[in-house]
Copies of this chain bind each other. A is one copy, B any other.
Amino acid sequence: MRRRHMILSAFFFNPQGDHRMSWRHPRAPGREVFGLDYYRKLAEAAERAKLDTLFIADHVAIWDSVESGVAHYANARLEPLTLLSALSAVTSHIGLIATASSSYSEPYNLARTFASLDHLSGGRAAWNVVTSAMDEEALNFGRDGNIEHAHRYDRAAEYLDAVTALWDSWEDEAVLLDRESGYFADPGKVHRIDHAGPHFKVRGPLNVPRPPQGHPLIVQAGSSEAGKDLAAAYADVHFAIIRSIDEGLRYRADINARLAKHGRAPESFKILPGILPIVAGSADEAKERQEFLETLLPERVGIDLLSSWAGIDLSAYPPDGPLPELPDESTFNGGRTSLNRVRGLANQNLSIRQIARKLANSGSMPTVAGTAKEVADQLEAWFVAGAVDGYNLMFPLLPEDWVNFTETVVPELQRRGVFRQEYEPGTLRDRLGLSRPPNRFAVARDTHRAAS
Protein backbone atom coordinates (compact mmCIF):
# COMPACT_ATOMS: atom_id res chain seq x y z
CA MET A 1 0.00 0.00 0.00
CA ARG A 2 1.37 3.42 -0.91
CA ARG A 3 1.55 5.92 1.90
CA ARG A 4 -0.79 8.87 1.59
CA HIS A 5 1.81 11.22 3.06
CA MET A 6 5.30 12.00 1.92
CA ILE A 7 8.22 11.44 4.29
CA LEU A 8 10.16 14.57 5.24
CA SER A 9 13.60 14.24 6.79
CA ALA A 10 15.53 17.29 8.02
CA PHE A 11 19.22 16.81 7.32
CA PHE A 12 22.50 18.44 8.13
CA PHE A 13 26.15 17.65 7.75
CA ASN A 14 27.59 21.07 8.52
CA PRO A 15 25.80 22.37 11.59
CA GLN A 16 25.54 25.77 9.88
CA GLY A 17 23.78 24.38 6.81
CA ASP A 18 24.46 22.30 3.77
CA HIS A 19 26.17 25.06 1.82
CA ARG A 20 29.67 24.35 2.98
CA MET A 21 30.63 27.95 3.61
CA SER A 22 27.36 28.72 5.37
CA TRP A 23 29.26 29.40 8.58
CA ARG A 24 30.41 32.70 7.00
CA HIS A 25 26.87 33.91 6.43
CA PRO A 26 26.00 36.96 8.57
CA ARG A 27 23.01 35.12 10.02
CA ALA A 28 24.81 31.80 10.60
CA PRO A 29 25.29 30.54 14.16
CA GLY A 30 28.70 30.93 15.85
CA ARG A 31 30.16 28.84 18.65
CA GLU A 32 26.72 27.69 19.73
CA VAL A 33 27.01 24.85 17.18
CA PHE A 34 29.07 23.04 19.82
CA GLY A 35 26.34 23.25 22.47
CA LEU A 36 23.02 21.52 22.94
CA ASP A 37 20.59 24.46 22.83
CA TYR A 38 21.19 25.17 19.17
CA TYR A 39 20.17 21.64 18.19
CA ARG A 40 17.35 21.48 20.67
CA LYS A 41 15.74 24.47 18.92
CA LEU A 42 16.19 22.87 15.49
CA ALA A 43 14.63 19.64 16.79
CA GLU A 44 11.74 21.48 18.36
CA ALA A 45 10.98 23.33 15.13
CA ALA A 46 11.08 20.04 13.22
CA GLU A 47 8.79 18.36 15.71
CA ARG A 48 6.32 21.25 15.70
CA ALA A 49 6.07 20.72 11.93
CA LYS A 50 5.63 16.93 12.42
CA LEU A 51 8.68 16.10 10.31
CA ASP A 52 9.54 12.40 10.20
CA THR A 53 13.22 12.44 11.08
CA LEU A 54 16.32 14.37 12.01
CA PHE A 55 19.25 13.10 9.99
CA ILE A 56 22.86 13.89 10.86
CA ALA A 57 25.62 13.04 8.41
CA ASP A 58 29.20 12.53 9.49
CA HIS A 59 32.85 11.91 8.73
CA VAL A 60 35.40 10.48 11.14
CA ALA A 61 38.14 12.94 10.26
CA ILE A 62 38.90 16.56 9.53
CA TRP A 63 39.37 17.24 5.84
CA ASP A 64 42.92 18.42 6.30
CA SER A 65 44.99 16.91 3.54
CA VAL A 66 44.90 20.37 1.96
CA GLU A 67 45.32 23.48 4.04
CA SER A 68 42.11 25.11 2.83
CA GLY A 69 40.16 22.36 4.60
CA VAL A 70 41.09 23.26 8.14
CA ALA A 71 41.42 26.96 7.44
CA HIS A 72 38.15 27.67 5.67
CA TYR A 73 35.78 24.79 5.84
CA ALA A 74 33.60 24.20 8.86
CA ASN A 75 33.99 20.48 9.21
CA ALA A 76 34.37 20.23 12.97
CA ARG A 77 31.23 18.64 14.27
CA LEU A 78 29.84 16.81 17.29
CA GLU A 79 29.51 13.03 17.07
CA PRO A 80 25.96 12.28 15.80
CA LEU A 81 25.02 9.45 18.19
CA THR A 82 26.01 11.51 21.22
CA LEU A 83 24.04 14.47 19.93
CA LEU A 84 20.95 12.47 18.96
CA SER A 85 21.01 10.64 22.29
CA ALA A 86 20.87 14.03 24.00
CA LEU A 87 18.06 15.15 21.68
CA SER A 88 16.11 11.95 22.36
CA ALA A 89 15.51 13.26 25.89
CA VAL A 90 13.95 16.53 24.70
CA THR A 91 11.85 15.25 21.77
CA SER A 92 8.96 12.80 21.67
CA HIS A 93 8.07 11.75 18.14
CA ILE A 94 10.70 12.59 15.60
CA GLY A 95 12.99 9.85 14.23
CA LEU A 96 16.70 10.11 14.99
CA ILE A 97 18.97 9.09 12.10
CA ALA A 98 22.61 8.91 13.14
CA THR A 99 25.37 8.27 10.65
CA ALA A 100 27.95 5.74 11.81
CA SER A 101 30.74 4.18 9.81
CA SER A 102 30.92 0.44 9.32
CA SER A 103 34.56 0.83 8.36
CA TYR A 104 36.09 1.88 11.66
CA SER A 105 34.07 0.59 14.58
CA GLU A 106 33.12 -2.69 16.24
CA PRO A 107 29.74 -4.29 15.46
CA TYR A 108 29.10 -5.11 19.12
CA ASN A 109 29.60 -1.52 20.26
CA LEU A 110 27.50 -0.09 17.46
CA ALA A 111 24.67 -2.61 17.87
CA ARG A 112 24.57 -1.78 21.54
CA THR A 113 24.54 1.97 21.11
CA PHE A 114 21.72 1.93 18.58
CA ALA A 115 19.75 -0.59 20.65
CA SER A 116 20.18 1.67 23.68
CA LEU A 117 19.07 4.74 21.74
CA ASP A 118 16.06 2.85 20.42
CA HIS A 119 15.05 1.93 23.99
CA LEU A 120 15.66 5.44 25.34
CA SER A 121 13.74 7.12 22.53
CA GLY A 122 10.80 4.72 22.52
CA GLY A 123 11.60 3.25 19.10
CA ARG A 124 12.93 6.25 17.18
CA ALA A 125 16.50 5.22 16.37
CA ALA A 126 17.82 4.87 12.83
CA TRP A 127 21.30 4.00 11.62
CA ASN A 128 22.63 5.57 8.45
CA VAL A 129 25.21 2.96 7.47
CA VAL A 130 28.18 4.47 5.68
CA THR A 131 31.51 3.19 4.52
CA SER A 132 34.36 5.64 5.05
CA ALA A 133 36.03 6.70 1.82
CA MET A 134 38.50 9.40 2.84
CA ASP A 135 42.19 8.74 3.39
CA GLU A 136 42.04 11.18 6.29
CA GLU A 137 39.58 8.81 7.97
CA ALA A 138 41.69 5.70 7.38
CA LEU A 139 44.68 7.40 8.99
CA ASN A 140 42.79 7.93 12.23
CA PHE A 141 42.21 4.20 12.57
CA GLY A 142 45.60 2.63 12.08
CA ARG A 143 45.42 2.24 8.32
CA ASP A 144 47.82 3.83 5.88
CA GLY A 145 45.13 4.43 3.32
CA ASN A 146 41.52 3.93 2.53
CA ILE A 147 39.94 0.47 2.47
CA GLU A 148 39.46 -0.64 -1.13
CA HIS A 149 35.94 0.12 -2.47
CA ALA A 150 34.57 -3.41 -3.02
CA HIS A 151 36.12 -4.63 0.20
CA ARG A 152 34.48 -1.67 1.99
CA TYR A 153 31.02 -2.80 0.86
CA ASP A 154 31.69 -6.48 1.64
CA ARG A 155 32.71 -5.40 5.07
CA ALA A 156 29.60 -3.25 5.43
CA ALA A 157 27.36 -6.18 4.47
CA GLU A 158 29.05 -8.46 6.97
CA TYR A 159 28.88 -5.71 9.58
CA LEU A 160 25.13 -5.43 9.01
CA ASP A 161 24.73 -9.21 9.34
CA ALA A 162 26.47 -9.16 12.71
CA VAL A 163 24.63 -6.10 14.02
CA THR A 164 21.14 -7.27 13.05
CA ALA A 165 21.88 -10.72 14.53
CA LEU A 166 22.91 -9.04 17.78
CA TRP A 167 19.63 -7.10 17.83
CA ASP A 168 17.85 -10.45 17.48
CA SER A 169 19.98 -12.16 20.12
CA TRP A 170 17.32 -11.44 22.74
CA GLU A 171 13.94 -12.62 21.53
CA ASP A 172 11.05 -10.28 22.21
CA GLU A 173 9.81 -12.44 25.07
CA ALA A 174 13.25 -13.18 26.51
CA VAL A 175 13.01 -10.83 29.50
CA LEU A 176 10.86 -12.51 32.17
CA LEU A 177 11.60 -10.49 35.32
CA ASP A 178 9.86 -13.22 37.29
CA ARG A 179 10.57 -12.23 40.87
CA GLU A 180 8.91 -15.33 42.25
CA SER A 181 11.02 -17.92 40.40
CA GLY A 182 14.12 -15.75 40.22
CA TYR A 183 14.23 -16.00 36.43
CA PHE A 184 15.38 -12.70 34.98
CA ALA A 185 15.45 -14.07 31.44
CA ASP A 186 14.51 -17.23 29.61
CA PRO A 187 17.92 -18.71 28.74
CA GLY A 188 16.34 -20.46 25.74
CA LYS A 189 15.46 -17.09 24.24
CA VAL A 190 18.82 -15.39 24.66
CA HIS A 191 21.13 -16.47 21.85
CA ARG A 192 24.79 -16.39 20.99
CA ILE A 193 25.11 -15.31 17.37
CA ASP A 194 28.46 -17.02 16.74
CA HIS A 195 29.19 -14.79 13.78
CA ALA A 196 32.48 -15.66 12.09
CA GLY A 197 33.22 -14.06 8.74
CA PRO A 198 36.19 -12.68 6.84
CA HIS A 199 36.04 -9.34 8.69
CA PHE A 200 34.46 -9.99 12.09
CA LYS A 201 34.10 -12.59 14.79
CA VAL A 202 31.34 -11.81 17.28
CA ARG A 203 29.92 -14.32 19.72
CA GLY A 204 27.08 -12.39 21.38
CA PRO A 205 24.48 -12.25 22.82
CA LEU A 206 24.13 -8.46 23.03
CA ASN A 207 23.73 -7.17 26.60
CA VAL A 208 20.70 -5.05 25.72
CA PRO A 209 17.25 -6.59 25.17
CA ARG A 210 15.75 -6.45 21.69
CA PRO A 211 15.06 -2.84 20.62
CA PRO A 212 11.44 -1.61 20.50
CA GLN A 213 11.60 -1.48 16.69
CA GLY A 214 13.06 -4.99 16.52
CA HIS A 215 15.84 -3.45 14.48
CA PRO A 216 16.45 0.27 14.53
CA LEU A 217 15.72 1.60 11.04
CA ILE A 218 18.50 1.01 8.51
CA VAL A 219 19.25 3.94 6.24
CA GLN A 220 21.67 3.87 3.33
CA ALA A 221 22.94 6.61 1.06
CA GLY A 222 25.10 6.36 -2.04
CA SER A 223 24.03 5.42 -5.51
CA SER A 224 26.96 3.33 -6.73
CA GLU A 225 26.08 -0.18 -7.88
CA ALA A 226 27.58 -1.61 -4.70
CA GLY A 227 25.66 0.96 -2.66
CA LYS A 228 22.32 0.16 -4.29
CA ASP A 229 22.85 -3.58 -3.85
CA LEU A 230 23.69 -3.12 -0.21
CA ALA A 231 20.60 -0.96 0.22
CA ALA A 232 18.30 -3.48 -1.48
CA ALA A 233 19.61 -6.24 0.76
CA TYR A 234 19.52 -4.40 4.09
CA ALA A 235 18.05 -0.90 4.09
CA ASP A 236 14.61 0.44 4.95
CA VAL A 237 15.26 3.97 3.73
CA HIS A 238 17.55 5.04 0.90
CA PHE A 239 18.87 8.52 0.19
CA ALA A 240 19.30 9.03 -3.54
CA ILE A 241 20.06 11.68 -6.11
CA ILE A 242 17.03 12.19 -8.32
CA ARG A 243 16.66 15.16 -10.67
CA SER A 244 13.28 14.64 -12.33
CA ILE A 245 10.09 12.62 -12.13
CA ASP A 246 11.26 10.38 -14.96
CA GLU A 247 14.56 9.74 -13.28
CA GLY A 248 12.71 8.94 -10.06
CA LEU A 249 10.43 6.43 -11.77
CA ARG A 250 13.39 4.75 -13.47
CA TYR A 251 15.30 4.71 -10.19
CA ARG A 252 12.36 3.10 -8.41
CA ALA A 253 12.02 0.43 -11.12
CA ASP A 254 15.72 -0.37 -10.84
CA ILE A 255 15.51 -0.61 -7.05
CA ASN A 256 12.37 -2.75 -7.21
CA ALA A 257 14.17 -5.26 -9.40
CA ARG A 258 16.99 -5.42 -6.86
CA LEU A 259 14.52 -5.78 -3.99
CA ALA A 260 12.76 -8.64 -5.76
CA LYS A 261 16.00 -10.63 -5.74
CA HIS A 262 15.83 -10.50 -1.95
CA GLY A 263 12.11 -11.33 -1.90
CA ARG A 264 11.28 -7.83 -0.73
CA ALA A 265 8.18 -5.79 -1.62
CA PRO A 266 8.60 -2.24 -2.97
CA GLU A 267 6.68 -0.87 0.03
CA SER A 268 9.37 -2.14 2.39
CA PHE A 269 11.84 0.35 0.94
CA LYS A 270 11.48 4.14 0.97
CA ILE A 271 13.40 6.32 -1.48
CA LEU A 272 14.15 9.88 -0.40
CA PRO A 273 16.13 12.07 -2.78
CA GLY A 274 18.17 14.87 -1.30
CA ILE A 275 17.04 18.37 -2.22
CA LEU A 276 18.24 21.83 -1.27
CA PRO A 277 15.11 23.90 -0.71
CA ILE A 278 15.59 27.64 -1.17
CA VAL A 279 12.38 29.30 -0.11
CA ALA A 280 11.87 33.03 -0.48
CA GLY A 281 9.22 35.69 -1.08
CA SER A 282 9.77 35.41 -4.83
CA ALA A 283 11.76 33.38 -7.32
CA ASP A 284 14.16 36.34 -7.73
CA GLU A 285 14.75 36.58 -4.03
CA ALA A 286 15.46 32.83 -3.88
CA LYS A 287 18.06 33.29 -6.62
CA GLU A 288 19.66 36.17 -4.73
CA ARG A 289 19.91 34.08 -1.57
CA GLN A 290 21.61 31.33 -3.50
CA GLU A 291 24.02 33.73 -5.22
CA PHE A 292 24.93 35.40 -1.96
CA LEU A 293 25.97 32.05 -0.47
CA GLU A 294 28.18 31.45 -3.51
CA THR A 295 30.13 34.64 -2.80
CA LEU A 296 31.25 33.10 0.51
CA LEU A 297 33.33 30.35 -1.08
CA PRO A 298 37.09 30.93 -1.33
CA GLU A 299 38.19 29.65 -4.74
CA ARG A 300 40.91 27.51 -3.15
CA VAL A 301 38.29 25.52 -1.22
CA GLY A 302 36.37 24.72 -4.40
CA ILE A 303 39.41 23.49 -6.24
CA ASP A 304 40.65 21.46 -3.26
CA LEU A 305 37.25 19.84 -2.90
CA LEU A 306 37.19 19.03 -6.60
CA SER A 307 40.65 17.46 -6.25
CA SER A 308 39.33 15.28 -3.48
CA TRP A 309 36.19 14.19 -5.38
CA ALA A 310 38.09 13.57 -8.61
CA GLY A 311 40.93 11.73 -6.87
CA ILE A 312 43.44 14.03 -8.64
CA ASP A 313 45.55 16.80 -7.12
CA LEU A 314 44.45 19.77 -9.29
CA SER A 315 46.59 22.42 -7.62
CA ALA A 316 49.16 22.26 -10.44
CA TYR A 317 46.60 22.51 -13.28
CA PRO A 318 45.53 25.89 -14.74
CA PRO A 319 42.13 26.69 -13.19
CA ASP A 320 40.75 27.96 -16.50
CA GLY A 321 41.75 24.81 -18.33
CA PRO A 322 39.85 21.53 -18.55
CA LEU A 323 39.96 18.70 -16.02
CA PRO A 324 42.57 16.02 -16.75
CA GLU A 325 41.25 12.55 -17.48
CA LEU A 326 39.23 11.19 -14.57
CA PRO A 327 39.89 7.82 -12.91
CA ASP A 328 37.85 4.84 -14.00
CA GLU A 329 34.82 4.29 -11.76
CA SER A 330 35.22 0.54 -11.50
CA THR A 331 38.61 0.85 -9.85
CA PHE A 332 38.01 4.17 -8.04
CA ASN A 333 38.53 3.93 -4.34
CA GLY A 334 36.79 7.11 -3.21
CA GLY A 335 33.09 8.08 -3.29
CA ARG A 336 31.80 7.02 -6.72
CA THR A 337 28.64 9.13 -6.59
CA SER A 338 30.76 12.28 -6.34
CA LEU A 339 33.12 11.10 -9.08
CA ASN A 340 30.19 10.63 -11.46
CA ARG A 341 28.87 14.09 -10.74
CA VAL A 342 32.33 15.49 -11.58
CA ARG A 343 32.36 13.48 -14.79
CA GLY A 344 28.95 14.85 -15.79
CA LEU A 345 30.21 18.43 -15.53
CA ALA A 346 33.54 17.66 -17.20
CA ASN A 347 31.58 16.37 -20.19
CA GLN A 348 29.93 19.80 -20.49
CA ASN A 349 33.33 21.37 -21.33
CA LEU A 350 33.49 23.46 -18.18
CA SER A 351 36.83 24.64 -16.77
CA ILE A 352 38.28 23.43 -13.47
CA ARG A 353 37.31 26.76 -11.88
CA GLN A 354 33.73 26.52 -13.14
CA ILE A 355 33.27 22.91 -12.11
CA ALA A 356 34.77 23.59 -8.70
CA ARG A 357 32.52 26.57 -8.15
CA LYS A 358 29.44 24.71 -9.26
CA LEU A 359 30.07 21.56 -7.26
CA ALA A 360 31.36 23.16 -4.11
CA ASN A 361 28.35 25.42 -4.00
CA SER A 362 25.60 22.98 -4.71
CA GLY A 363 27.08 19.73 -3.54
CA SER A 364 25.64 17.01 -5.67
CA MET A 365 21.97 17.54 -4.81
CA PRO A 366 19.39 19.45 -6.88
CA THR A 367 18.05 22.78 -5.68
CA VAL A 368 14.34 23.52 -5.44
CA ALA A 369 14.01 27.29 -5.31
CA GLY A 370 11.01 29.61 -5.21
CA THR A 371 8.15 30.68 -3.02
CA ALA A 372 6.76 28.28 -0.44
CA LYS A 373 3.93 27.49 -2.85
CA GLU A 374 6.30 26.83 -5.76
CA VAL A 375 8.51 24.60 -3.64
CA ALA A 376 5.45 22.72 -2.36
CA ASP A 377 4.26 22.33 -5.99
CA GLN A 378 7.40 20.47 -6.96
CA LEU A 379 7.56 18.36 -3.82
CA GLU A 380 3.92 17.38 -4.29
CA ALA A 381 4.27 16.67 -8.02
CA TRP A 382 7.20 14.25 -7.63
CA PHE A 383 5.53 12.49 -4.74
CA VAL A 384 2.11 12.18 -6.40
CA ALA A 385 3.76 10.83 -9.56
CA GLY A 386 5.25 8.02 -7.48
CA ALA A 387 8.80 9.15 -8.30
CA VAL A 388 9.79 9.49 -4.64
CA ASP A 389 8.54 8.53 -1.16
CA GLY A 390 9.58 11.84 0.32
CA TYR A 391 12.61 14.07 0.67
CA ASN A 392 15.82 14.49 2.52
CA LEU A 393 15.82 18.24 3.13
CA MET A 394 19.31 19.73 2.96
CA PHE A 395 18.95 23.36 3.97
CA PRO A 396 21.64 25.72 2.67
CA LEU A 397 21.66 27.91 5.81
CA LEU A 398 20.74 26.93 9.36
CA PRO A 399 18.78 27.67 11.41
CA GLU A 400 16.76 30.04 9.22
CA ASP A 401 16.15 27.90 6.12
CA TRP A 402 15.16 24.99 8.35
CA VAL A 403 12.76 26.97 10.52
CA ASN A 404 11.38 28.86 7.54
CA PHE A 405 10.63 25.60 5.69
CA THR A 406 8.76 24.20 8.67
CA GLU A 407 6.69 27.37 8.95
CA THR A 408 5.89 27.97 5.27
CA VAL A 409 6.30 24.88 3.06
CA VAL A 410 5.08 22.29 5.55
CA PRO A 411 1.71 24.01 6.22
CA GLU A 412 1.24 24.24 2.45
CA LEU A 413 1.88 20.50 2.07
CA GLN A 414 -0.46 19.78 4.96
CA ARG A 415 -3.24 21.84 3.36
CA ARG A 416 -2.84 19.76 0.22
CA GLY A 417 -3.18 16.54 2.22
CA VAL A 418 0.26 15.19 1.27
CA PHE A 419 1.85 15.61 4.69
CA ARG A 420 0.63 14.65 8.18
CA GLN A 421 -1.10 17.09 10.51
CA GLU A 422 -0.32 15.07 13.63
CA TYR A 423 2.13 12.33 14.51
CA GLU A 424 0.68 8.85 14.27
CA PRO A 425 1.22 6.73 17.40
CA GLY A 426 3.91 4.07 17.61
CA THR A 427 7.54 3.76 16.65
CA LEU A 428 9.42 5.35 13.77
CA ARG A 429 8.85 2.17 11.74
CA ASP A 430 5.13 2.40 12.42
CA ARG A 431 5.00 6.02 11.26
CA LEU A 432 6.91 5.28 8.06
CA GLY A 433 4.75 2.23 7.27
CA LEU A 434 7.68 -0.16 7.65
CA SER A 435 7.01 -3.47 9.34
CA ARG A 436 8.87 -4.70 12.41
CA PRO A 437 11.47 -7.30 11.39
CA PRO A 438 10.78 -10.80 12.68
CA ASN A 439 13.36 -12.24 15.07
CA ARG A 440 15.58 -14.73 13.18
CA PHE A 441 16.00 -17.00 16.18
CA ALA A 442 12.27 -17.20 16.88
CA VAL A 443 11.62 -17.81 13.18
CA ALA A 444 14.21 -20.58 13.07
CA ARG A 445 12.65 -22.30 16.08
CA ASP A 446 9.12 -22.00 14.71
CA THR A 447 10.25 -23.33 11.33
CA HIS A 448 12.03 -26.22 12.99
CA ARG A 449 8.98 -26.97 15.14
CA ALA A 450 6.61 -26.87 12.16
CA ALA A 451 8.86 -29.25 10.23
CA SER A 452 9.18 -31.82 13.03
Binding site for B on A (CB under 8 A): 21, 23-26, 28, 30-31, 34-36, 40, 59-62, 64, 67, 70-79, 81-83, 85-90, 104-106, 108-109, 112-113, 115-117, 119-122, 136, 139-143, 170, 175, 177, 179, 182-187, 190, 192, 200-209, 296, 298
Contacts and interface: CB of A to CB of B under 8 A. Distances in A.
Nearest to A112: B79
A24 B298 CA distance: 64
A119 B34 CA distance: 6
A104 B113 contact: no
Nearest to A28: B179
A24 B182 CA distance: 7
7 contacts: A60-B207, A62-B206, A70-B184, A76-B185, A76-B208, A85-B86, A106-B141
Given A70-B185, A76-B185, A140 B204 contact: yes
Give the one of A75, A79, A296 with max B CB within 10 A.
A79
**Quick one: copies of this chain in the complex?**
2
B40 A202 contact: no
A82 B183 CA distance: 27
A439 to B, nearest CB: 16
A203 B140 contact: yes
Contacts of A112: 60, 79
B207 A75 contact: yes
A187 to B, nearest CB: 5
A178 B120 CA distance: 39
A80 to B, nearest CB: 9
B185 A81 contact: no
Nearest to A59: B207
A72 B209 CA distance: 15
Contacts of A140: 108, 202-204
Contacts of A187: 67, 70-71
A109 B119 contact: no
B76 A113 contact: no
A86 B89 contact: yes
A177 B30 contact: yes
B77 A202 contact: no
B71 A184 contact: yes
A105 B109 contact: yes
A14 to B, nearest CB: 10
Contacts of A30: 177
Given A25-B179, A82-B113, A104-B108, 18 more contacts: A24-B182, A26-B179, A34-B119, A36-B88, A36-B120, A36-B121, A61-B207, A62-B190, A70-B187, A71-B184, A72-B184, A82-B85, A89-B90, A105-B105, A105-B109, A108-B140, A140-B202, A142-B201
